Structure 1
Amino acid sequence: MKLVLVRHVETWGNVEHRLNGHTESEYTDRGKAMKEILVKELIDLNEKLNFNKIFASPTSRALKIASDVGAGIGKDVTADPRLREFNFGIFEGKTRDECIEISQEAWELWMADYLDYVVPQGQSQRDYHDICAEFIAELESDDTVLLVAHGGTIHGFLTNLLELPIDSKWHFDIKLGSITVIDYNHGFGMLSGMTTPPYDELIPPDKEPLGDANKSVMRAEARTEAQAKAKAARKQKA
């Protein structure tokens, strides 16, 4: 089985550093230009790999890309809710500062126990990881799959398919509009490629680059800060 995992392109949520899991977010002008490049790249890749199935998150920033590729190669697209981004619950659509304003206690509990804490009205990372595993188990061994989703989804697939600890996902920088390829045979996964089209070279200079708006980086930094605060609080109580 070969899986081609694609992250959606730039949205306003990325630019504004918002935790948009299930929350919809429109493409920026740069994102629209990235989408055109990415769709063409994937249509060309189909000539080499011949996707026999296309899946997508039902969230529009991913589904629009998959739908355009499907139309271009004459294949149907299946939208599956399990491919949505992590559900941030009460923190959906918020920046880090806004999250702390809503509930500093919930934020710090989440940062201190990132894998198992269930975000109020949301989920835990371990639950999300298990959902990805459930989806993978339903794929056929001879499938060549194009899957368009989110950074969190791709992290979940990587850690499951490569049999890695959940927290090792932070070692993979899944860039906006990137393409990750995994070969998976007889229960053994191999990362065979991670590429990102040269958006900066191909997009006109009037469309501002994203800069450092990687949500995984933001969450990792915030988690480190919260863990330090929790450790200091425990010392005070001792």
Structure 2
Amino acid sequence: MKIVLIRHGITVTNKKKIFSFDDSLLAEEAYPMLDELKPRLKEFASFKVYSSPFKRALQTAEYLGLKNIQTDKRLQEYNFGIFKGFTFEEAQAKYPIEAKNWIENNDTIAPPDGETSFDHFKRTAEFLEETALKDEDIIIVTHYGTITMALAWALDNFSLRNKFAPKNSAISILEVFLSDNKNEIAYKGIETVNAF
């Protein structure tokens, strides 16, 4: 089976390098970029579609003309907690201790009211394991952080999550093979990253 990961179109908060709010919307510049992606998606027309429930992901899925979109909270972006709405530099200035602790060990330390990186990985992996065992080709419209976690899941290595940089309005493709009795994943890997 194939898992096609689409990062949502660019937002105003992406442009300003702000930790996005859950309801951040697409910027006007997102639409021409998404128009370029539309023809590439024709080969995935029969795929089942999932999306993060955040507005920017749903706006992207709808603009791309994807149908029967199912949302799942496990596909949400990393929860930056009290850092939402700030640039990294602003968060450091306003919450110096919390930002320092988080940067030094975000695997196990969360921003206040947020989540750890490993929690984000676990929920992403849980969704992917669950859907992979259904052996259906799927499209997932989601976020930068969730895609990096999915790519790390494909390589069975959480520590590789920071080695990827999925672009707005781009796709990454994973391939998953089940065991002969289809009750476990036999092999998974990355087919293409940031491909149009």
TM-score, with normalisation over the residues of structure 2? Answer: 0.88
Question: In the aligned structure 2, how far is the partner of 1:17 from the partner of 1:87?
Answer: 16
Alpha carbons 1:56, 1:80 under 8 Å: kept? yes
Trace 1:193-208 onto structure 2 (pairs within 5 A): 193-197=192-196
Give, in whole Å, the separation in 1 of the partners of 2:161 and 2:194.
17
* Whole-angstrom distance in 1 between the partners of 2:188 and 2:7: 19
User: 1:135 aligned to 121, 127, 131, which one?
Assistant: 127
Counterpart of 1:225?
none
Look up the match of 1:159. 152
How many residue pairs were aligned? 188
Flag the structure with higher strand content: 2
Residue of structure 1 equivalent to 2:44:
46
Amino acid at match of 2:10: E
Seen in structure 2, the aligned counterparts of structure 1 residues 195 and 107 have a Cα distance that, compared at 3 Å, is: closer
Is the 1:39–1:68 contact (alpha carbons within 8 Å) kept by the matching residues of 2? no
Secondary structure class of the residue paired with 1:29: coil
Contact preservation (8 Å) 2:174, 2:189: yes
Q: Please identify runs of 4+ aligned residues in structure 1 that moved more than 4 A.
A: none
Q: Structure 2 CA distance, aligned partners of 1:39 and 1:120?
A: 38
Check if 1:37 corresponds to 2:48.
Answer: no
Measure how far apart 1:97 and its partner are.
Answer: 2.1
Name stretches of at least 5 consecutive residues in structure 1 with no aligned partner. 198-238
Where does residue 16 of structure 1 map in the other structure? 16
Tell me the distance in 2 between the aligned counterparts of 1:76 and 1:2: 18
Distance in 1, Cα, partners of 2:159 & 2:32: 33
Distance in 2 of aligned mates of 1:45 and 1:172: 25
Q: Distance in 2 between matches of 1:45 and 1:130?
A: 30
- Where does structure 2 lack aligned partners over 5 or more consecutive residues? 179-184
Deviation at 1:147, TM superposition (A): 0.4
Matches within 5 A, 1:1-238: 1-20=1-20, 22-42=21-41, 44-47=42-45, 50-51=46-47, 53-71=48-66, 75-139=67-131, 140-164=133-157, 166-186=158-178, 187=185, 188-197=187-196
Q: Distance in 2 between matches of 1:11 and 1:59?
A: 12
Q: Distance in 2 between matches of 1:91 and 1:195?
A: 27
Distance 2:64 2:168 in 1: 17
Specify the structure having the higher radius of gyration (Cα).
1
In 2, Cα distance between equivalents of 1:19 and 1:45:
33
Measured on the aligned residues, the alpha-carbon RMSD in Å equals 1.7
Instruction: Give yes or no for contact 2:22–2:55 (8 Å, CA) kept in 1.
Output: no
Q: Which residue of structure 1 lines up, in the alignment, with residue 182 of structure 2?
A: none
- The Cα offsets for residues 125-161 of structure 1, whole Å up to 9 and x where unpaired, read as 0111110111112213421000000011111111112
Q: TM-score, normalised by structure 1?
A: 0.74
Deviation at 1:13, TM superposition (A): 0.7
Match for residue 212 of structure 1? none
Structure 1 distance, partners of 2:24, 2:87, is 14
Contact 1:70–1:77 (CA under 8 A) maintained in structure 2: no
Identity %: 28
Distance 1:45 1:8 in 2: 19
Equivalent position SS for 2:29:
helix
Question: Higher helix fraction: Structure 1 or Structure 2?
Answer: 1
